[in-house]
């Protein structure tokens, strides 16, 4: 009959093997999760194609504005003005002459409709909308794994993603 010390040694060996197997499975799981995450991202070719489509669409709109001799500041689509969509000063500089829109009174309260972020404001941006949020000026915080509206930007363009 085995002694207590021998039984403990066997039990410790089994526990060690189980611990090593769990560690190997955890590493394998992490690797598979990383592969799954990478597979769900758009490929480099898809991102290039998307950028090219945006360039072509923008070139078409600019061409049509030029043909009609219209100012880009007045361009409107589905009730949304282009000048209101441009929130970053560097983006506005690309279209010199587009003035910053003035705050319009809210029909409900009579207060200005434009609210400015007083601090980094968290957003709930689905992956499909990330490029649009980025174009509006949102920033991705990798350590927090979330999008925010930086301090000083208007919140109205981000209303669809503002967290309740």
106 located within any domain = no
User: What domain range includes position 87?
Assistant: 44-101
29 and 48 together in one domain:
no
CA distances from residue 54 to 49, 57, 61, 132 in whole angstroms, order as listed:
9, 5, 11, 11
| 39-60: pLDDT as tens digits | 888 888 888 999 999 889 888 8
pLDDT at 114: 59
Q: How many domains does the chain have?
A: 3
pLDDT tens-digit profile of 66-80? 888 887 777 888 878
Q: Which tokens hold the place of 79?
A: 């009730």
In a domain, 82, yes or no: yes
Tens digits of residue pLDDT in 112-148: 445 788 788 889 899 898 999 899 999 999 988 889 9
Q: Is 107 a domain residue?
A: no
């Amino acid at each position: 009959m085995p002694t207590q010390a021998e039984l403990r040694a066997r039990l410790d060996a089994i526990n060690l093997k189980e611990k090593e197997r769990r560690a190997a499975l955890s590493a394998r799981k992490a690797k598979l999760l990383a592969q799954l995450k990478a597979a769900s991202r758009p490929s480099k070719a898809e991102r290039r194609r998307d950028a090219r489509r945006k360039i072509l669409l923008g070139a078409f709109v600019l061409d049509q504005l030029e043909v009609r001799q219209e100012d880009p500041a007045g361009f409107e689509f589905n009730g949304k003005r282009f000048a209101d969509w441009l929130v970053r000063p560097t983006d506005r500089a690309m279209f010199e002459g587009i003035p910053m829109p003035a705050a319009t009174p809210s029909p409900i309260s009579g207060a200005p409709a434009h609210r400015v972020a007083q601090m980094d404001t968290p957003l709930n941006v689905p992956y499909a909308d990330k490029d649009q949020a980025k174009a509006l000026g949102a920033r991705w915080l990798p350590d927090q794994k979330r999008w925010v509206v930086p301090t000083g930007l208007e919140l109205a363009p981000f209303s669809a993603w503002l967290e309740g």
